[in-house]
A and B are shown apart, each in its own frame.
Chain A
Amino acid sequence: MNIVEAKGLGKEYGELTAVDSLDLHIPEGEIFGFLGPNGAGKTTAISMMCGVITPTRGTATIDGHDIRDDAFAAKRAIGLVPQDLAVYEEINARQNLAFFGALYDLSGVELNKRIDWVLEVAGLTDRAKEPVEQFSGGMKRRLNMAVGLMHKPKLLVLDEPTVGVDPQSRNYIFETIRSLQSEHGMSVLYTSHYMEEVQSLCDRVAILDKGELIANDRVDDLINAHASGALQLDLAKDADGQAALAAAMEHGEANLSGSKLEVKVTTSIGAAITAVEQAGVEVVSMRSLQADLETVFLTLTGKKLRDEK
């Protein structure tokens, strides 16, 4: 069964198309990555799924509930963790959790038990009664995630949860996400523009660019399908880079950055190297580039993910 099924989901703001007819399904129990540069439409897409904004067209179901016709049931299935630190900093963690829990009709003993559980998950049990404004950035991020877990959603939606987070807290968040999936069977929709995070964490990934879905597959399959035959040549410092670039482009897509020439080879690696050398350019060293989601994105869009930031 799919926890999310989006059909033709789209959002326009006047002339601007933020998301263009998104067709997407996310299998239940998976960690699903939503990758794309800033402004690609990731937040808009998940905001529509979470009921935060109204789609211009199309619809989606969450755990079988239509976001338009059965909005409350769909919302109960989702735990949204916004990109912003969406907590009230003046009050303490426990008070925050009590308020947000009440939005999902939690009360009394059940509410307290749930608060204790999410505090433990977030590693904040000892700090529960401190005002949130006294927390470190990482602790606030963890509390932000804890709020999204209060009603034990079937789908946890994390929107760029590691922005501005130290490595220690980042690892804690990753471990928590993995344990929520493995121990509680929770499905996770994880948006990021950090391809390393998505690659290491997610079972499946969708890549969004300029509001359009350009890829949607298992991470390994996507890399295997799109990211083969790439190499990086280190040219001599006095080498004619433009000549090397022109020669390399005869054998695929090439990018020159200083003395480094990256080639996504479409003919053969040997032929590409030979062509560069025959152009009178000295190649100091060469290495095969490890295929990753960055190269997938480069292959699909002709630009680097980071260029769009």
Chain B
Amino acid sequence: MIRRAVVKECQLLLQDRGALASLFALPLIFVITFGFMFSGVSSQDKARVIAVHYHKENKLAARIVKTIDGSGMFRVDYVATVKGVEEYVAGSDGRVGLILPHKLNPAGGVPAQLIIDEAASIQFRGPVVGAIRSLVGKGMAPGDPSAKPPDFLAIRTPPGIKKPMKNVSGFQVSVPGNAVLFGFFLALTVALSFVEERRSGTWRRLLAAPVHRPTLLVAKLVPYFLVGLVQMGFLLGVGALAFGMQVAGSVVALCVLTVAVVFCATGLGLFIASFGGTEKQVGSVGSIIILVMGLLGGAMVPRMVMPESMQQIGLAVPHGWALEGYYDVLIREGTTLGDIGVPILAVFGFGVVFTVVGALKFKFER
């Protein structure tokens, strides 16, 4: 009997693509993605590029640079001007620079300057700042690290990048990350609601009513769009009221971005529903799609700590753009609607594509 039961269960399992994907494909995707992330961290530890401006005749500065270059943790790229270092760091995420002024004299109030995006995630910023602080200190006082003067290293954000608000808490990062991750689960709810309509027979009844078919789709999606807004409002509201999450930028920008995210999630739901399938299939395949998108987009691990290639891949999913926008508007002071216009348009664009393709692919008479 047990043998027959095993055979039967295997036969059922082989027919259940969703379960197979959950069992085999999903963990594999996570293993590969996390593997790339960790290998990226490792290679960054070995030789992260640091743009350095210093005067070669300044022996102290030259010693510091030599210490940094010789550490194996950084590869020093000499930059001729201060502005050049600032522009390099402001040019892209995850960059770092060091300025050793001509009159470098920490004891006399002229410290070294670490140029970094102070609003970058702590996972990126923490190790870099720690390593540079240690190496610069070692370069200043090679024999006795305790002899280095206080305030020997100033940290500042270059022009072109908005500064972070003061007292940024962990919730500034964890709330939007999880709000985006779970906000997109709305797509699964939307897709499953279509499956349930078909299963129960109510879909036939709707088709028999004197209502245009596109209207039926809109009538199905609008309630979930509104539910999504309530969900995101709830998550962000709890983050603000219970955990002290603050909005460093424009509240209007935050609201517009949230509307774009919910619109996108609703459209993704229609897109998933357009493939049809049973409740089990949509449930498992939909979960995989949403989890993988969340992983790639940085909802679980910030994109900034990923290698450059993974960071670019993260922008191929709406989560990546949404989180860019949320981090800016929640952390960087003075962020306006215009400042996060690109992320908003990107998320909205994904939503339009999902909705249009989903609507065109959707089979009313399946």
Contact = CB atoms under 8 A, between A and B. Distances in A.
B206 A84 contact: no
Interface centre among A47, A53, A84 (most CB of B within 10 A): A84
Contact of A147 (B200, B205, B210, B365): B205
A104 B210 contact: yes
B11 to A, nearest CB: 25
A87 B202 contact: yes
Interface string A257-278: 0000000000000000000000
B200 A75 contact: no
B207 interface: yes
B211 A86 contact: no
B121 to A, nearest CB: 42
A136 B201 CA distance: 18
Nearest to A54: B365
Interface string B196-240: 000011101111111100000000000000000000000000000
B205 A86 contact: yes
A72 B200 contact: no
Size bracket, chain A contacts: 20 to 34
Nearest to B196: A88
A86 B210 contact: no
A298 B208 CA distance: 34
Size bracket, chain B contacts: 10 to 19
B320 to A, nearest CB: 36
Given A75-B209, A80-B208, A86 B202 contact: yes
Contacts of B200: 84-89
Interface centre among A50, A80, A86 (most CB of B within 10 A): A86
SS class, residues of chain A in contact with chain B? loop
A214 interface: no
B205 A100 contact: yes
A156 to B, nearest CB: 12
Contact of A78 (B201, B202, B204, B208): B208
A83 interface: yes
B202 A51 contact: no
A82 B365 CA distance: 15
B208 A53 contact: no
Contact of A76 (B201, B205, B210, B365): B210
A86 B207 CA distance: 12
Given A85-B200, A85-B201, A86-B202, A72 B210 contact: yes
Would you list the 8 A-B pairs with minimal beta carbon distance, nearest first? A84-B201, A86-B201, A72-B210, A103-B209, A80-B208, A75-B210, A50-B208, A52-B207
23 contacts: A47-B204, A50-B208, A51-B207, A51-B208, A52-B365, A53-B207, A72-B210, A75-B210, A80-B204, A80-B208, A82-B204, A83-B201, A84-B200, A84-B201, A85-B201, A86-B200, A89-B200, A100-B205, A100-B209, A103-B206, A103-B209, A103-B211, A147-B205
Given A76-B210, A104-B209, 18 more contacts: A50-B207, A50-B208, A51-B208, A52-B208, A52-B365, A53-B365, A54-B365, A72-B210, A75-B210, A80-B208, A82-B204, A85-B200, A85-B201, A86-B204, A87-B202, A88-B202, A100-B205, A103-B209
